[in-house]
Structure 1
Amino acid sequence: MWNWVTLAIAVVAAIVAVELLRRVLKSRLIGERWALAGPVVRRCTWPGFASAVLAAASAVYNPDMSGPQANALVQRLFTLLLIGCVTWLVIQAAYAVTDVVLDRLTQVEGARNRRARRIRTQITLVRRVSAAVVVLVALGAMLFTFPQVRALGAGLLASAGIAGVIAGIAAQSTLGNLLAGLQLAFSDALRLDDVVVVRDEWGRVEELTLTYVALRLWDERRLILPVSYFTANPFENWTRHESRILGSVFLRVDWAVPVEEIRAELYRALRDNPLWDQKDWTLQVTDVTPQGLIELRALMSAADSASAWDLRCDIREHLVGFIREKYPESLPRLRIDQV
């Protein structure tokens, strides 16, 4: 009877200790001084409770409580559960530490945004690889708690080469995606929030994992592609060197259009538009179409792709309205000569 009472007291004491630690970390005073407190509380509360309860129960467990026959089974069950909970706690603690860094990198804007997105991509992939390695080590530790597995250890090591070849052939696609994901992250070819054009689809990299890349397209659809696609096929990356990009607007109008007046109006419209970054702009006659029209190209810069898209739409609408109201004779028209 006293053994069970001791076990209950140990479990309650472990729960109280973890709860007190959680409250201290959650308090406003500590939270303001230590940025890690919030992520630790959010991620490590439940694995902390589970690990503390199992550790306390395993420490005070008495073989007399279950009898000699069930003792080995209970001890092994405690060990397996404790390994699983500690693995869970370690992974969540590592994620909590990296969450602090990722949150700060998300807030970086301007010229340092590209480097911040590169570091975010690398941290995200590295912590996923680390979590997978920790899980594999934990599974190995669980298996080696069984005497039969330990007895087969020498044989398994002897056949590791053959098994490795077989596993490599069977998991060729998975391993290829894994290596491709690491290659993308550390070669700086693709980062989170990069603006890319893939298969004639314009979108932003929303998620980059070791197996797939999720693109959020302009119309809120999601395009999911394997990571290996980006190492084996060409794609456009509009923000590889910097988030700032140039946008273009094309107008096809009659030869009678006053180009200088359109150029001056473009500058006035850009100057009053908050989406323009006040840097680059120009208007040029770039082509003469087979239909007898001239092509005007207006270039303008913006801080990022989303601003550039909206700026292009605003300027296109403004210039179309300006030409229609001020120079209706310059609207596109088709001339036919009769002989």
Structure 2
Amino acid sequence: MKTEFLTLLTHLRHLLDWLPGLMSSVLMLCAAGLVAEMFSRFITKLILRIPGSRRGAFVRSFTLAMQRPARIMLVLLFVGTALPVSGLPADIMQDTAHALVVLFVLMLGYAALVATRILSDAYFNRINGKDDKDDILLRTHMTQVRVLRRTTDLLIGLVTVGASLMTFEPVRQYGLSLFASAGAASLVVGLAARPLLTNLFAGVQIAMTQPIRMEDLIIINGDWAWVEEITSTYVVLRVWDWRRHIVPISYFLENPFQNWTHNSAALIGVVFIHVDFQAPMDRIRERLREIVHSAPLWDGKEFAVQVADCNAHVMTIRVIASARSAMQSWDLRCEIREQIIAFLRDECPEALPRDRLTHVGSMSGLDVMEGPGVLSPPVSRPPPGAYTGPRSGMSGGGMAPTDGGQGHG
């Protein structure tokens, strides 16, 4: 086929002898490119006729996405094949051949990038069709494919640019010189590219070991944040108030952090309630049970009410309730607080926290609060020994006299 193609171009070259030499050569190369274009369109139409709802649809979509780089590469190949019989001067032919090689290498790298994107997107569409969006396996595959795709894109870009530059003689000689002095060159390059290489290898390690995944909920700098994007060098974290943390990917291999959705999205939420010692625990426990069991956010697994602590003023009730995710756990805790506060306020006011103040007299009968200028204004007090019972709490700083007399002070 190649021989017939070259013979056809030779006949075309002879038919254009009446034109200037350079113009006829250019027209012949354009004709070769036109033949490649027509051949590419013919093959594309044949492939698009492949039947099938699943595999056939993928082949058709892959063909449509790859037709542009494939068509350009085919044109470059046909023009390069026709170049020896084009009749161009030797120097122009050499420069043109070199330009065609560089363009072919670049288009080959571009085609590899497009193919990588198409395959990864097809895999994303397949796994995103699942109903369970909190599936650990689903988020694991999404993380691995995203990280590996970006790493592959970087490697393809480096190899493509390097291969195209190596077609130039000065660059090739420079590369050979660096290879000859590989000891010093590798040391310098390694030190200069250490941060890039660290993050690059960290990205591959994260894709394999999975300390974080796409849409994982983690705690960083005291903020709740979701893993929004994982690149080859950094991670984008989305905070609940729409702020974004941009963190080097190596951070997650060198520093401890909390991952609330590593094995499961379900969490146990905790609510603390401070009540008075006179609070009826049976009624409060029963009301909390009603609140949690009727809440749609509760997953039906964990629930408990306990007096977890107490001090000189209040006792602390701890309520635990599980939910399917961190955000549902947050909303469930807020709902529990709102309803139990309303219950205590309306039906158990004696359970609300309060401060107590009791004034106890001294054993000698001389009140520590007595004395000129201690109480202002002075209050009536009973004489020593007039009251033998225990002193109770006072709201005005003293006790009314029992004999109608004025107290000391």
Q: Normalised by the shorter chain, which TM-score bucket?
A: 0.7 to 0.9
Aligned residue for 1:87, secondary structure, equals helix
Partner of 1:249: 271
**1:277 and 2:299 equivalent?**
yes
CA distance in 1, matches of 2:209, 2:181: 35
Report the Cα offset of residue 232 of structure 1: 2.3
Partner of 1:126: 148
CA contact (8 A) 1:63 1:71 kept: no
The CA deviation string for residues 265-322 of structure 1, in whole angstroms up to 9 with x for no partner, is 33333333332222222222222256x1222222222222222222222232222223
Higher RCO (CA 8 Å, separation ≥ 6 residues)? 1
Partner of 2:355: 334
CA distance in 2, matches of 1:250, 1:75: 78
**1:94 and 2:137 equivalent?**
no
Identity of aligned residues (%): 31
* TM-score of the two chains, using structure 1 as the length reference: 0.85
**1:259 and 2:284 equivalent?**
no
CA distance in 1, matches of 2:115, 2:309: 60
What does 1:140-155 correspond to in 2, within 5 Å?
140-152=162-174, 154-155=176-177
Partner of 1:295: 316
Higher alpha-carbon deviation: 42-51 or 222-231: 42-51
CA distance in 1, matches of 2:288, 2:59: 51
Q: 2:262 aligns with which of 237, 240, 251?
A: 240
CA distance in 1, matches of 2:316, 2:63: 60
Partner of 1:16: 41
CA contact (8 A) 2:307 2:317 kept: yes
CA contact (8 A) 2:198 2:250 kept: yes
Distance 1:143 1:22, change over 3 A: same
Distance 1:266 1:47, change over 3 A: farther
CA distance in 1, matches of 2:181, 2:114: 34
Partner of 2:139: 117
Report the Cα offset of residue 81 of structure 1: 1.5
| Structure 2 counterpart of 1:334, one-letter code | D
| Structure 1 counterpart of 2:351, one-letter code | S
Partner of 2:100: 78
Partner of 2:21: none
**1:317 and 2:346 equivalent?**
no
Distance 1:325 1:20, change over 3 A: farther
CA contact (8 A) 2:308 2:316 kept: yes
Partner of 1:3: 28
Distance 1:315 1:21, change over 3 A: farther
Higher alpha-carbon deviation: 103-112 or 329-338: 103-112
Report the Cα offset of residue 249 of structure 1: 2.1
Q: 2:218 aligns with which of 175, 190, 196?
A: 196
| Structure 2 counterpart of 1:317, one-letter code | E
Greater CA radius of gyration, 1 or 2? 2
What does 1:26-105 correspond to in 2, within 5 Å?
30=52, 32-34=54-56, 36-37=58-59, 40=62, 44=66, 46-61=68-83, 64=86, 67-105=89-127
CA distance in 1, matches of 2:67, 2:314: 68
**1:158 and 2:180 equivalent?**
yes
Structure 1 unmatched ranges of 5 or more = none
| Structure 2 counterpart of 1:281, one-letter code | F
Distance 1:153 1:317, change over 3 A: same
Structure 2 unmatched ranges of 5 or more = 1-23, 361-409
Aligned residue for 1:295, secondary structure, equals strand
CA distance in 1, matches of 2:59, 2:298: 40
Higher alpha-carbon deviation: 144-153 or 16-25: 16-25
| Structure 2 counterpart of 1:329, one-letter code | E
Report the Cα offset of residue 42 of structure 1: 7.8
| Structure 2 counterpart of 1:208, one-letter code | I
CA distance in 2, matches of 1:23, 1:325: 72
How many residues are paired up? 335
Report the Cα offset of residue 206 of structure 1: 1.0
